[in-house]
Amino acid sequence: MKNIDSISHVSGKSVYVDDIPVLDNTLYALIVPATIAHGVLKKIEYTGDHSDFVRMITASDIPGENQIGSIIPDEELLSSQEIHFMGQAIAIIVAKSLNSAYMIRDEVHVEYDEYKAITDPRVAFNSGNIIGESRKFQCGDIVWADCDTIVSDRVDMGGQEHLYLETHGSYVIPTERGYKVISSTQSPSSVQKMIARVLGISMHLVEVDVNRLGGGFGGKEDQATPIACMAALAVNITDRPVKLILDRIDDLKMTGKRHPYSADYKIGMKSNKIIAYDVIFYQNAGASADLSPAVLERTLFHATNSYYIPNFKATAYSCRTNLPPNTAFRGFGGPQGMFVIEAAIDKLAEKSGIPAYVLQEANLMKNGDKFPYGQITDNLMLTDAWSKIKTIKNVYEEEIEQFNHNNKYFSKGMAIMPITFGISFTNTMMNQGSALVNIYQDGSIGLSTGAVEMGQGVNTRILQALISSFGVSADRVKMETTNTTRAINTSPSAASSTHDLNGWATLDACNQLIRRLEKLLIDEYQAGSVEFINNRVIFNDRSLSWDELIQFAFTKRVDLAAHGYYCTPDIYFDKEKEKGHPFAYYTTGVAIQMATVDIIRGTYKLDKIDIIHDSGRVMNSNLDRGQIEGALAQGLGWMLLEDLQYDDNGRLLSNALSTYKIPDINFMPDIKIEFIGANNPLGLMGSKSIGEPPLMYGIAGYFAVRNAMRNHKNIDMAYKTPLTPERILMGLFS
Ligand code: LUZ
Ligand code: MOS
């Protein structure tokens, strides 16, 4: 099935928040951002007399709680006094037009007492600025004396801007019964809950509706919430509809990114088996907790990537700095955990002279192996994928040897990257989904779920599940908006889990309806077996069209609506012991990447990548390819290009697309994807989740470039990302 949004996307008819026609009396809001990263707000005033000025809203105007922290209550919606990052919201300007709002905002006068800013997580750690508790995962006993090769090093990873095409936005309308909120959020229920908290009302008065997002990537899992809260607050105060859309510059400045991390590790092996790994992670959380503790946890889950390491210790700290609160980003801490172990293996390879791929292969997880947190693996396709990659590696190797032999100023290299990504929210409670299937009396169907469509194709996948269950064609079904009155208490569309959770819930609703229809046919026609196929129902030696059946069922007073629910079975995690079975299953795969470095310029070209990916039973190969290619681009961008720069005062220097470079079509390697995988009983229609895992194939890009440099000469270059041409050049000439 094609992505059901493809025609409206290509013809420009897809509707995003900013496309919704506004009511006549709509007001426009803008956020007044702090212009220092750390300090105290002394005074804020607007003394102008612009005729379009309606209100300036500050913390003291909030009728409920001035608090939006979801895991830890440490984040004010509007600063009441303390400033923790540059771009923090200190007031909201409400005006009759957007242009006027900008002019008014320019004239707001703010005074601060400024303190010194901290931007480095290690500096934060050393001065005791830690968010929440430190976490430690541990198994076995590390005995360094048992190792024959030991290396240790420091690793630093940069952050990453989400750069969804649609910036944050919300449009809130006062209604007779409360608030109708249109929000570009991955988490409608979080928006509902926080608006209720901020306004001091109950949740049933807030209806949140989401049609689709122009990308989310985690950036709208938590951080769409304050935007919607501010718009709702302005509605509460003015009693008029309010639209608040961030322009790109505000969005870049005000919102958090992927977490930069710094790490120290020590790793040891005996012959080629890794038998000891000790790692400390310093996460740069930014100014408040946001989702950082959960991101930190996933770093620990993925700290051994796809390897079995019997003796292991990982300690992780979430460090509070004066940057915008960093947040969920595709992979959610997993990529950082995986990069460090890959860096450690790279260094082990260098020291021992054993190629990295030999070490990777020797330590690759097999079904039945146990992760340090206790989950035993099954249904991994790692070894199958690896053996296919090995064949491709021989071809790559030959090409590289020949090329490097014949070229003096260019050097090729390659790297292999296995991935194993746990599928489920690590917070067990969040693994639930729901659906509402309405069959109208003419046989047409409306489907509402908790899933938010953000370009990933989740609606298409869930639709596939529904039509395969009812045996009807897709044109009988309308995918409704995600709405908190039709799908309640939803989890964010995140953790690669949305189609599983909401797809299974849809199938639960379908099954209930099918059972009712079967009962009708048994009661009325003594039906034996009943089959739903090709828009018909077949029973005994006759059949009815789906529409006839539904019309009949309606006259016989059969309930034609069903609420479906799903919660992932058999998952749990004990945070005291740091052990459990947190994931439904794992998505796995292996990639091999080739790169050519220009020795004189420090530039490089990503030649090609071959990916053997385990998607279970592939549900929709085009959607899966789209997710792999997009995730790979994001992973390669994070590793090689995207350089978030803050100055010592916490000011974002790479604050526009002129200074923040992201992958384009020319940057990307030739991509070959082969799917392997067997039926996955816990995945929707036997599939495996795909949203996040392929991002980590991008890590191969870093090591392919590094190996190309190394094939030219010995290098002694810090493990630091992104590996930009500047860093390559300095690495080659140091
Ligand atoms: N969000 C979340 C996520 O709240 N918990 C998770 O475990 C997660 N994992 C990946 C992406 N988003
Ligand atoms: Mo996400 S990082 O699955 O919102």
| pLDDT, tens digit, 9 for 90 and up, residues 643-652 | 999 999 999 9
421 in ligand 2 pocket by Cβ < 6 Å?
no
Phi/psi region, residue 218 (left: phi>0; alpha: psi -120 to 50; beta: rest), is: left
Q: Whose C-alpha lies nearest to ligand 1, atom 2?
A: 425
586 in ligand 2 pocket by Cβ < 6 Å?
no
Longest pairwise C-alpha distance within the chain: 85
Residue pLDDT, tens place only, 595-638: 999 999 999 999 999 999 999 999 999 999 999 999 999 999 99
Mean pLDDT of 507-533: 97
pTM score: 0.97
DSSP reduced 3-state for 20: coil
Percent of the chain with pLDDT over 70: 100
Nearest by Cα to 337 from 311, 308, 306: 306
Instruction: Pinpoint the alpha helices (H) of 608-648.
Output: 621-636
CA 424 to ligand 1: nearest atom? 7
| CA 267 vs CA 27, 42, 147, 659: distances in Å | 58, 50, 9, 37
Distance 127 CA to ligand 2 centre (A): 30
Task: Please check the confidence at residue 395 and state whether its pLDDT lies above 90.
Answer: yes
Instruction: Give phi and psi for 372, each to the nearest 5.
Output: -55, -25
Task: Please check the confidence at residue 499 and state whether its pLDDT lies above 90.
Answer: yes
Task: Please check the confidence at residue 296 and state whether its pLDDT lies above 90.
Answer: yes
Instruction: Quote the CA–CA distance of 464 and 362 in Å, as a whole number.
Output: 40
495 in ligand 1 pocket by Cβ < 6 Å?
yes
Instruction: Quote the CA–CA distance of 386 and 359 in Å, as a whole number.
Output: 13
Instruction: Quote the CA–CA distance of 239 and 241 in Å, as a whole number.
Output: 7
Residue pLDDT, tens place only, 418-441: 999 999 999 999 999 999 999 999
Mean pLDDT of 284-310: 98
pLDDT of residue 577: 97
CA 426 to ligand 1: nearest atom? 7
Residue pLDDT, tens place only, 75-121: 999 999 999 999 999 999 999 999 999 999 999 999 999 999 999 99
**Token pair for residue 440?**
């109208």
Distance 121 CA to ligand 2 centre (A): 23
Q: Whose C-alpha lies nearest to ligand 1, atom 9?
A: 495
Nearest by Cα to 356 from 728, 707, 709, 56: 707
Predicted confidence band of residue 259 (pLDDT cuts 50, 70, 90): very high
- DSSP secondary structure string, 303-359? TTTTB--SSEEEEEEEEE-SSSPP---TTTTHHHHHHHHHHHHHHHHHHH---HHHH
Spell out the residues 6+ positions from residue 224 whose beta carbon is closer than 8 angstroms to its own.
168, 170, 183, 184, 185, 186, 187, 191
pLDDT of residue 180: 98
Task: Please check the confidence at residue 734 and state whether its pLDDT lies above 90.
Answer: no
DSSP state of 172: E
Instruction: Quote the CA–CA distance of 345 and 397 in Å, as a whole number.
Output: 19
Strand pairing category for 312-320 and 273-286:
parallel
Question: Are the beta carbons of 503 and 497 closer than 8 angstroms?
Answer: no
Task: Tell me which of 258, 291, 690 to substitute to probe ligand 1's pocket, judged by most ligand atoms within 8 Å of the beta carbon.
Answer: 291
**Token pair for residue 203?**
């949740």
Instruction: Quote the CA–CA distance of 615 and 320 in Å, as a whole number.
Output: 37
Q: Whose C-alpha lies nearest to ligand 2, atom 3?
A: 494
Instruction: Give phi and psi for 350, each to the nearest 5.
Output: -60, -45
425 in ligand 2 pocket by Cβ < 6 Å?
no
- CA 5, 251, 191, 230 dihedral sign is negative
Q: Whose C-alpha lies nearest to ligand 1, atom 12?
A: 495
Which ligand places an atom closest to the C-alpha of 292?
A: 1
Distance 282 CA to ligand 2 centre (A): 21
Residue pLDDT, tens place only, 459-470: 999 999 999 999
DSSP reduced 3-state for 149: strand
Residue pLDDT, tens place only, 151-191: 999 999 999 999 999 999 999 999 999 999 999 999 999 99
pLDDT of residue 139: 98
646 in ligand 1 pocket by Cβ < 6 Å?
no
Question: Are the beta carbons of 233 and 62 closer than 8 angstroms?
Answer: yes
- Cα atoms in the Cβ-side hemisphere of radius 13 Å centred on 362: 15
Instruction: Quote the CA–CA distance of 96 and 49 in Å, as a whole number.
Output: 13
- CA 198, 204, 210, 216 dihedral sign is positive
Nearest by Cα to 268 from 158, 429, 143: 143
- Cα atoms in the Cβ-side hemisphere of radius 13 Å centred on 332: 29
pLDDT of residue 32: 98
Task: Please check the confidence at residue 678 and state whether its pLDDT lies above 90.
Answer: no
To the nearest whole number, what is the mean pLDDT of the chain?
A: 97
Nearest by Cα to 27 from 167, 171, 192: 171
Spell out the residues 6+ positions from residue 461 whose beta carbon is closer than 8 angstroms to its own.
499, 503, 619, 620, 623, 684, 687
Distance 257 CA to ligand 2 centre (A): 12
CA 186 to ligand 2: nearest atom? 4
329 in ligand 2 pocket by Cβ < 6 Å?
yes
